[in-house]
């Protein structure tokens, strides 16, 4: 199989790289240190067409594909993991949910502003008692005439509070188990919809993560996404796509730390030699480079599978499992090669090591990825 990027993919990568270095990198440290949501970055991504990369032009998107979008997440994650997850949650989880499962009216009303950069999206599945066991949803939706009434709360929601459009899952029939879960589109500003305080996190500190609270929140029946009772399947299928985004984020974090470290070991001298001259350094770099490239093939392959319309759930799980492991391991080794400086905040690898950890947890932990993969093996 030929994994060489086409000319258009090479050029979009070059575009994202230039944008990342010029617009994102200068603010990455401050974004992390001050736990500040990078609105400037989001506005620039919006005005340059980066918020709707894989969606058709007729719906406000750019008419590219998953691979092009993945390259954006990867390039941005090399310099600022926070910005890359904002893009990933918006595109893979919120916008794609409406693109795949929305009706024409919903696509026009909700997908178009997400794809053309007017609005920001978010996806809310996790609850205090429903993490990996997503079927244990407590949030309820009750039909009342021409409205659904939502009650409950969601936690750890990426782009929470900053987003305009939320995909929210709730139980419409408790007795039906996973077949009683439905998906809804809820707009910020709807009465009864409020936010908890932002979480203070180990990494990706500039991204907004908070609780969503619904108290007798009434939404029109037209905001039901997909059919009633089909929410669990929608959540699982959308998370499959989201995992390719997180896998790309992890790949980018690993590459960013690696590039920083390659430069560092050429400069840093000990025993009168740059530490790059020592075989221990060389072997560590060799292993890291090999791990990064193996993750890259899995990530790009999963994106290509999604673009070709084939089932890609297992490929996405393998890409995320491997890529997040590589990100955690590579950033840890990069800190080690930096020695004491690696533990100091102003050296980027310190931030990257903290940022990498979440990729093993969110949008399905590594353990969930293993369940998906082993399930396909033992079928």
Partner 1 sequence: MNIVVCIKQVPDTKEVRIDPVKGTLIRQGVPSIMNPDDKSALEAALRLKDQKGARVIALSMGPLQADTVLREALAMGVDEAYLISDGAFGGADTWATSSTLAAAISKLDYDLVLTGRQAIDGDTAQVGPEIAEHLGIPHISYAEEIRIEGDTVVVKRQFEDRYQILSAKMPVLITALSELNQPRYMTPGGIFSAFREKEVARWTRADIPIDDANIGLKGSPTRVIATYPKQMKEPGTKIETGVDESVQYLLEKLKEKYIL
**Which member of 29, 147, 363, 367 is catalytic?**
363
Backbone φ and ψ for 153, nearest 5 degrees, come out as -150, 155
15 binds partner 1 (CB under 8 A): yes
Could you give the CA distance from residue 198 to residue 204 in angstroms, rounded to a whole number?
13
DSSP calls for 238-289: HHHHHHHHHHHHHHHHHHHHHHHHHHHHHH-EETTEEGGGSHHHHHHHHHHH
Cβ neighbours, 10 Å, residue 190: 16
300 binds partner 1 (CB under 8 A): no
The beta strands (E) that lie in the chain are given as: 121-124, 140-144, 147-158, 165-171, 181-187, 193-195, 209-220, 224-225, 269-270, 273-274
CA distances (Å), origin 265, targets 151, 193, 348: 55, 51, 14
Could you give the CA distance from residue 319 to residue 317 in angstroms, rounded to a whole number?
5
Closest CB 201 distance from partner 1, rounded Å? 29
Closest CB 14 distance from partner 1, rounded Å? 9
Cα torsion angle, 74, 80, 81, 83, sign: negative
Subset of 66-85 contacting partner 1 (CB under 8 A): 68, 72
Binding pattern to partner 1, positions 337-356, x when CB under 8 A? --------------------
Q: Give 68 or 89: the residue with its C-beta nearer to partner 1.
A: 68
Size of the site for partner 1 (CB under 8 A): 19
Closest CB 92 distance from partner 1, rounded Å? 16
Q: Give 22 or 143: the residue with its C-beta nearer to partner 1.
A: 22
Give the three-class secondary structure for 291: helix
Q: Give 147 or 307: the residue with its C-beta nearer to partner 1.
A: 307
Candidates 63, 191, 220, 222; binder of partner 1 (CB under 8 A) is 63
Closest CB 63 distance from partner 1, rounded Å? 5
Could you give the CA distance from residue 16 to residue 136 in angstroms, rounded to a whole number?
39
375 binds partner 1 (CB under 8 A): no
Which of 2-10, 227-235, 314-322, 333-341 is the region at the interface with partner 1 (rule: CB under 8 A)? Answer: 2-10
Q: Give 18 or 216: the residue with its C-beta nearer to partner 1.
A: 18
Closest CB 113 distance from partner 1, rounded Å? 17
Could you give the CA distance from residue 44 to residue 307 in angstroms, rounded to a whole number?
26
**Which one-letter DSSP state was computed for residue 170?**
E
Closest CB 72 distance from partner 1, rounded Å? 7
Nearest CA-CA partner of 30 in 356, 345, 358:
345
8 binds partner 1 (CB under 8 A): yes
Token output for 68: 């092009």
Q: Give 266 or 370: the residue with its C-beta nearer to partner 1.
A: 266
62 binds partner 1 (CB under 8 A): yes
> Do residues 124 and 167 lie in contact, with contact meaning Cβ atoms separated by under 8 Å?
yes
Binding pattern to partner 1, positions 18-57, x when CB under 8 A? xx----------------------------xxx--x---x
Closest CB 18 distance from partner 1, rounded Å? 7
229 binds partner 1 (CB under 8 A): no
Residue 329 annotated among the catalytic residues of the structure: no
> Do residues 170 and 182 lie in contact, with contact meaning Cβ atoms separated by under 8 Å?
yes
Instruction: List residues with catalytic annotation.
Output: 363
Contacting residues toward partner 1, per CB under 8 A = 6-8, 11-12, 15, 18-19, 48-50, 53, 57, 61-64, 68, 72
């Amino acid at each position: 199989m030929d994994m060489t990027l086409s000319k258009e993919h090479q050029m979009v990568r070059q575009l994202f790289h230039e944008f990342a270095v010029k617009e994102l990198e200068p603010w990455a440290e401050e974004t992390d240190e001050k736990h500040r949501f990078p609105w400037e970055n989001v506005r620039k991504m919006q005005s340059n067409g980066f918020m709707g990369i894989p969606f058709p032009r007729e719906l406000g998107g750019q008419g590219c594909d998953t691979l092009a979008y993945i390259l954006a997440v990867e390039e941005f994650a090399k310099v600022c993991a926070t910005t890359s997850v904002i893009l990933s949650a918006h595109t893979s989880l919120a916008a794609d949910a409406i693109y795949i499962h929305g009706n024409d009216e919903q696509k026009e009303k909700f997908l178009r502003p997400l794809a053309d950069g007017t609005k920001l999206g978010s996806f809310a599945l996790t609850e205090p008692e429903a993490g990996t066991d997503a079927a244990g949803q407590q949030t309820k939706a009750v039909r009342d005439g021409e409205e659904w009434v939502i009650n409950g709360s969601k936690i750890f929601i990426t782009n929470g509070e900053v987003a305009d459009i939320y995909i929210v899952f709730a139980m419409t029939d408790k007795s039906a188990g996973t077949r009683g879960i439905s998906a809804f589109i809820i707009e910020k500003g709807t009465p009864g919809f409020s936010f908890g305080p932002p979480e203070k996190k180990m990494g990706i500190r500039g991204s907004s993560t908070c609780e969503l609270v619904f108290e007798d929140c009434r939404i029109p029946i037209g905001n039901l996404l997909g059919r009633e009772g089909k929410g669990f399947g929608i959540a699982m299928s959308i998370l499959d796509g989201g995992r390719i985004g997180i896998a790309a984020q992890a790949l980018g974090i690993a590459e960013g730390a690696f590039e920083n470290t390659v430069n560092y070991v050429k400069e840093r001298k000990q025993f009168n030699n740059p530490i790059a001259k020592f075989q221990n350094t060389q072997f560590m770099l060799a292993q890291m480079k090999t791990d990064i490239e193996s993750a890259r093939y899995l990530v790009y392959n999963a994106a290509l599978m999604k673009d070709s319309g084939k089932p890609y759930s297992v490929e996405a799980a393998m890409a995320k499992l491997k890529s997040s492991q590589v990100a955690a391991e590579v950033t840890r080794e990069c800190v080690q090669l930096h020695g004491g400086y690696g533990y100091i905040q102003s050296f980027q690898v310190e931030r990257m090591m903290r940022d990498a950890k979440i990729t093993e947890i969110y949008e399905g932990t590594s353990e969930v990825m293993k369940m998906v993969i082993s399930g396909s093996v033992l079928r």
